[in-house]
Structure 1
Amino acid sequence: MSSYDEYQSPLASRYASKEMQKIFTARQRISTWRQLWLWLAEAEKELGVSQVTDEAIEAIRANVVISDEAFKVAAVEERRRRHDVMAHVYALEQDAPAAGGIIHLGATSCYGRTLSHSVTDNTELILMRDALDLVLPKLAKVIDNLSRFALKYKDMPALGFTHYQAAQPITVGRRAAQWLQDFVFDLEDIEHVRENLKFRGAQGTTGSQASFLEIFQGDSAKVDQLNEILCAKAGFPSCYDISTQTYTRKVDLRIANALSSFGATAVRVANDIRHLCHDKVIDEPHGKDQIGSSAMPFKSNPMTSERVCSLGRKLTNLSGNFADTFAQQWLERSLDDSAIRRMDIPEMFFLVDSILTALDQVTNGLVVFTASVHSQLMQELPFMATESIIVRLVNYGISRQVAHEHIRILSNEAAYHVKMEGGTNDLIERIKRTEFFKPIWGEVDSLLDPKLFIGRCPEQVEKYAGPNGVVQKKLEKYRQYILSTATAQLAV
């Protein structure tokens, strides 16, 4: 049967990068199991467990990367035993007969079911750690893209919006800084869960460590040493202080919350870009041969930003699954977490990875239509200059209330001309034709300089994203990655 006749997840086949997919492949997962069994054997030997021999350790080490044939052996065994970990213990015994005794030791009375949950949970922690380490520099690159964009356009006045209605002007760069700050918050949150990620280690069937205490004949210090050795080998600072049969699923939820929050930021920013594309003031990058519409060849749609919104919507809501899974763990554990975590943990990281690929492309190629930005602003700026006009009239001894009424009438007439007659905003021309405003006719044009209305926007951007700003300090640890990595390209 052709692969085209089999269902494949679009996340893997269409969106996620190969490097992220590799982390969650079956070969990577089971090879990590085998690596964990090797580390456990090495640690036990170091602590004086006599059954663990050099020959057994070398046999496991020679077979850490699982072969295709071993997968087939395990598949047959799992159909018999209905237990995936024990099926792979059996397969490893076939590959490394000299280690069969110590693997068997880990699977029977001394460890009870400890081996099963130690290896699967510790593997999940390793895979999620490696995935987070892939995500963080990619997010840093998106942040760097936006910081450079914000600085480039920090001085360019643009129409601001509240309620998606014209409001006080800002600058193009200042708006990008708003996006930038939200992504920096995400970077901080994801860094926090990464830095606080720990190992489960060897904790026993319900987390009491009783089985390991038995192995080490009541020597608690050796149980602690065992976990210290395992953490050092796996690259974790320490184990969680308390575990049940699993590490608490609160860990998964904390990670999911941080990543789902990033998903919300991605949707929020991509939606802004889509609105600005509609207004023809900004566009996302487009390939030379890219087709916007099969029916309308003139169209240039923000399809990459739309993809971000689509994937981000799923990511944003995925944390609910992790919350439910955590909440539904009974007492020392229940198995209703297994099937959903097999799907949701990889998919969560595939979603983040896919979104970051799209965002890297968009944020590193945003096109600003400067003439359209100016035109859009100037269509509304006369209304925003009315307060300054009133102040000037007051300076000539005219009542503020009277000036306000005259401005109100002309503003309504200009708005009618725009909305009902399809004209341009001619408020200034009306002011120049109205005798009441004669004292300031010579000053009106000078009041329409857009830079008079942007406040501290350039300064704010420079302070936040400039060479000595907050953003650059956040990015310092990722600088080498940023400088050495080309802009991500969408596979499809």
Structure 2
Amino acid sequence: MTPLPLQPLSPLDGRYRAAVSDLGEHLSEAGLNRARVQVEVEWLIFLTERSLFGSTPLADEQKAALRAVVTDFDQEAIDALAREEAVTRHDVKAVEYYVRAQLTRLGLDSIAELTHFACTSEDINNLSYALTVRAAVEDVWMPRLTTLVDTLSARAEQHRDVPMLALTHGQPATPTTMGKELAVFVHRLRRVIRRIDAVEYLGKFSGATGTFAAHAIAEPNLDWPTLSQQFVEGLGLTFNPLTTQIESHDWQAELYQAMNHAGRILHNLCTDVWTYISMGYFTQIPVEGATGSSTMPHKINPIRFENAEANLELAGALLESLAQTLVTSRLQRDLTDSTTQRNIGVAFGHSLLAIDNIQRGLAEINLNEARLASDLDGNWEVLAEAIQTVVRAEVTAGRSAISDPYALLKKLTRGNRVDQAELVKFVDALDIGDEAKARLRALTPHDYTGLASTLVDRLKG
């Protein structure tokens, strides 16, 4: 058999690349290396701005040229770094040598020894991961999730007044509205989004074991913790003052657990929408040219929601593994986080792909109001709750002497189908006040939705 040409092993880099490619700007190896170069360059500028170790501040054009090494990072830079790493067999050392080469090109060899000064690899890596993960969340993942939540919110408003038979334990229950049910998911997701927005992206810059030992021996009279804090905060990150060789990754665990929580809510949305489709509450819009089954021509399958379910499960497994693994490092450092963090992009990718599928799936369904109405018309027994509750109120107010209204309605309706005529006859025979009797006589399953419609307004608060 002829070997295939080189192919992507992950479907994220093959079949689904178009949906997740924006993440590659940040969470790819190239994105990580660009961030590493950025940290090294900013450290050089930081040190020279303070004239440390006899250096002098760089001219504005020199700083601009150094920062252009980051902003102009391209395929040539990627290839150059790959060549360096092939020799060093160490990714961060390759970055250091690459930056030194850029200093030579720019005529800045005089500050070459300040490259990677007093740094351990993890000083560069932890800041680079914080920068790239933050960018992936803020520039790619969160905007897509927010757009999806906005779409759900719009659908909730659209269907706010459409009554629907609720199903608790899969059995007919007190009616609601489709809008209110979708609003529940919007509310849940917005709570988690606020948690994600509040996550701190922490960074450390304190040397081989978090003690500033190399810094202090090079210049004992400087306040290195304060300088380190200024540098980290200058990158827009939150300073972590107490670490081992590594930044402890607790912020990552918090982020990934919150993302996973959002994913589980989305998974619940998918299973509910899938079920509504199977019940005929939502109809699927045929896509021209699409095939649902290779043998059954009539089929339109809810593949967007099924695909999303699967990708949310994959993302959830990876995010949970990241959160569990990253918070543990033996003594002052082990390398379990190294390989683990290289899969951050994979976890984000499956999550983003799921969001994309749900967004597309929602655009391919319409609400079947006639089917919702039919189910309500076929389940008048759900008004038993309303009747027994009103009777209880009448008894309490002294307008009725009925004993155990709940049992009375249970006998009439439990396991039984009753229609409008039977319920009206039953209400007419009740010993309750005329106003209450008129209210119950006029009630239908379509009307018995309580405050469901107005609850949707809570999304605007």
Q: Same fold (TM over 0.5)?
A: yes
> What is the aligned partner in structure 1 of residue 130 from structure 2?
125
Secondary structure of 1:17's match?
helix
User: Gapped runs of 5+ residues in structure 1?
Assistant: 416-425, 470-492
What code does the residue aligned with 1:224 have? T
Tell me which of 64, 78, 91 is aligned to 1:84: 91
What code does the residue aligned with 1:78 have? E
Secondary structure of 1:166's match?
strand
For 1:8-27, what aligned pairs fall within 5 Å after superposition?
A: 8-13=9-14, 14=16, 16-27=19-30
> What is the aligned partner in structure 1 of residue 382 from structure 2?
384
> What is the aligned partner in structure 1 of residue 360 from structure 2?
361
CA deviations 1:291-324 (Å, max 9, x no partner) are: 2222212111111111111111122222331243
Matched residues in 1 for 2:286 and 2:239: separation? Answer: 48
Matched residues in 2 for 1:243 and 1:447: separation? Answer: 69
> What is the aligned partner in structure 2 of residue 370 from structure 1?
369
Deviation at 1:172, TM superposition (A): 1.0
Matched residues in 1 for 2:357 and 2:409: separation? Answer: 51
Checking the alignment, whether the CA contact within 8 Å between 1:78 and 1:84 is kept in structure 2 is yes
Matched residues in 2 for 1:47 and 1:288: separation? Answer: 65
Matched residues in 2 for 1:366 and 1:129: separation? Answer: 34
Is 1:461 aligned to 2:461, yes or no?
no
Matched residues in 1 for 2:456 and 2:366: separation? Answer: 19
Number of residue pairs matched by the alignment: 439
Deviation at 1:147, TM superposition (A): 1.7
For the structure 1 residues 217 and 47, does the alpha-carbon distance in structure 2 shift closer, same or farther, using more than 3 Å as the test? farther
Secondary structure of 1:161's match?
strand
For 1:47-126, what aligned pairs fall within 5 Å after superposition?
A: 47-49=50-52, 50-51=54-55, 54=58, 60-64=66-70, 65-97=72-104, 98-99=107-108, 102-107=111-116, 111=118, 114-126=119-131
Matched residues in 2 for 1:223 and 1:306: separation? Answer: 51
CA deviations 1:63-116 (Å, max 9, x no partner) are: 334454444444344334321111232233334424456444445xx62xx242
CA deviations 1:336-395 (Å, max 9, x no partner) are: 21112111x112222232222223333455411000011112211x21234666778x99
> What is the aligned partner in structure 1 of residue 180 from structure 2?
174
Matched residues in 2 for 1:411 and 1:206: separation? Answer: 69
Tell me which of 159, 167, 170 is aligned to 2:165: 159
For the structure 1 residues 408 and 36, does the alpha-carbon distance in structure 2 shift closer, same or farther, using more than 3 Å as the test? same
> What is the aligned partner in structure 1 of residue 212 from structure 2?
209
What code does the residue aligned with 2:347 have? M
Matched residues in 2 for 1:261 and 1:124: separation? Answer: 22
Secondary structure of 2:314's match?
helix
Is 1:250 aligned to 2:254, yes or no?
no
> What is the aligned partner in structure 2 of residue 450 from structure 1?
445
Deviation at 1:263, TM superposition (A): 0.9
> What is the aligned partner in structure 1 of residue 299 from structure 2?
299
Q: CA RMSD in A?
A: 3.5
> What is the aligned partner in structure 2 of residue 277 from structure 1?
277
Matched residues in 2 for 1:257 and 1:387: separation? Answer: 40
Secondary structure of 1:267's match?
helix
Matched residues in 1 for 2:120 and 2:56: separation? Answer: 16
Matched residues in 1 for 2:240 and 2:33: separation? Answer: 23
> What is the aligned partner in structure 1 of residue 202 from structure 2?
198
> What is the aligned partner in structure 1 of residue 153 from structure 2?
147
CA deviations 1:391-411 (Å, max 9, x no partner) are: 78x999997689977984687
> What is the aligned partner in structure 2 of residue 44 from structure 1?
47
Checking the alignment, whether the CA contact within 8 Å between 1:154 and 1:457 is kept in structure 2 is yes
For the structure 1 residues 70 and 141, does the alpha-carbon distance in structure 2 shift closer, same or farther, using more than 3 Å as the test? closer
Checking the alignment, whether the CA contact within 8 Å between 2:26 and 2:132 is kept in structure 1 is yes
Secondary structure of 1:294's match?
coil
What code does the residue aligned with 1:30 have? N
Deviation at 1:247, TM superposition (A): 1.1
> What is the aligned partner in structure 2 of residue 218 from structure 1?
221
Secondary structure of 1:367's match?
strand
What code does the residue aligned with 1:272 have? D
What code does the residue aligned with 1:75 have? A
For 1:408-419, what aligned pairs fall within 5 Å after superposition?
A: 408=411, 415=417
Matched residues in 2 for 1:130 and 1:89: separation? Answer: 23
Checking the alignment, whether the CA contact within 8 Å between 2:315 and 2:348 is kept in structure 1 is no
Matched residues in 1 for 2:48 and 2:428: separation? Answer: 97
Matched residues in 1 for 2:439 and 2:259: separation? Answer: 51
Deviation at 1:265, TM superposition (A): 0.7
What code does the residue aligned with 2:382 have? M
Secondary structure of 2:242's match?
coil
Deviation at 1:36, TM superposition (A): 1.5
Deviation at 1:443, TM superposition (A): 7.7
What code does the residue aligned with 2:174 have? Q
TM-score (norm 2): 0.83
Checking the alignment, whether the CA contact within 8 Å between 1:146 and 1:180 is kept in structure 2 is yes
Identity %: 20
Matched residues in 2 for 1:431 and 1:256: separation? Answer: 52
Judge which range, 346-355 or 90-99, deviates more.
90-99
Matched residues in 2 for 1:51 and 1:28: separation? Answer: 30
Checking the alignment, whether the CA contact within 8 Å between 1:190 and 1:255 is kept in structure 2 is yes
Matched residues in 1 for 2:100 and 2:409: separation? Answer: 92
Checking the alignment, whether the CA contact within 8 Å between 2:163 and 2:178 is kept in structure 1 is yes
Checking the alignment, whether the CA contact within 8 Å between 1:106 and 1:115 is kept in structure 2 is no
User: Gapped runs of 5+ residues in structure 2?
Assistant: 431-436
Matched residues in 2 for 1:406 and 1:226: separation? Answer: 72
Secondary structure of 2:172's match?
strand
TM-score (norm 1): 0.78
What code does the residue aligned with 2:69 have? N
What code does the residue aligned with 1:41 have? L
Secondary structure of 2:164's match?
strand
Matched residues in 1 for 2:230 and 2:385: separation? Answer: 69
Deviation at 1:10, TM superposition (A): 1.3
Checking the alignment, whether the CA contact within 8 Å between 1:260 and 1:318 is kept in structure 2 is no
Deviation at 1:224, TM superposition (A): 1.8
For 1:308-327, what aligned pairs fall within 5 Å after superposition?
A: 308-327=308-327
Matched residues in 2 for 1:192 and 1:246: separation? Answer: 23
Checking the alignment, whether the CA contact within 8 Å between 2:160 and 2:177 is kept in structure 1 is yes
> What is the aligned partner in structure 1 of residue 143 from structure 2?
137
> What is the aligned partner in structure 2 of residue 263 from structure 1?
263
Secondary structure of 1:350's match?
helix
What code does the residue aligned with 2:127 have? N
What code does the residue aligned with 1:305 have? F
Matched residues in 2 for 1:211 and 1:379: separation? Answer: 78
